[in-house]
Amino acid sequence: MLYKAMSNAYSKLQSPALPATGTESGQLSLSDLQGQAVVVYFYPRDNTPGCTKQGEGFRDHHEAFADHNCLIVGVSRDSLASHEKFAAKYQFPFPLIADPDETLCRQFDVIKEKNMYGKKVMGVERSTFLFDRNGRLVREWRKVKVPGHVEEVLEAVTQLS
């Protein structure tokens, strides 16, 4: 059931009508994603230590992902302006999608209750989804810990080839 929901979310991600605005190409559309594997990673917030390390990991391995015809897309609730500054500061060669209204976050079920300094808040659970060239969800990672994660995702992408 969850895989079907993720595949539906992927279909919606591809829809030109979806307000998925990114730093690299503006609106993300079906033609941007067709025929290639796609890694969609959700992270809590721009310019925080863990999110920066995660983005740097995908940046540092970007060529290896590209060698396997795999697009990387980062998503958080931050604004497009915040994403543009974050991407420029760390030279991210992949789009960051602004999702301030949590449309994608909710479709991928990554909004979770978290404990921040003793208070319960709703936030983005660091998660990664891998889709094959046919748009099928083939792997997901929930409650991601940053160290070693990008390498694990790259290994899964390598196995798709």
Cross-strand partners of 128: 41, 141
pLDDT in tens, 95-141: 999 999 998 899 899 999 888 788 898 999 999 999 999 888 899 99
Catalytic residue positions, numbered: 51
pLDDT in tens, 31-80: 556 789 999 999 999 999 999 999 999 999 999 999 999 999 999 999 98
Q: What is the pTM of this model?
A: 0.83
CB atoms within 10 A of CB 89: 12
Q: Is the pLDDT of residue 30 over 50?
A: no
Q: Which CATH superfamily is domain 2-160 in?
A: Glutaredoxin (3.40.30.10)
CB 113 within 8 A of CB 79: no
Task: State the first-to-last Cα distance of the chain, in angstroms, to the nearest integer.
Answer: 26
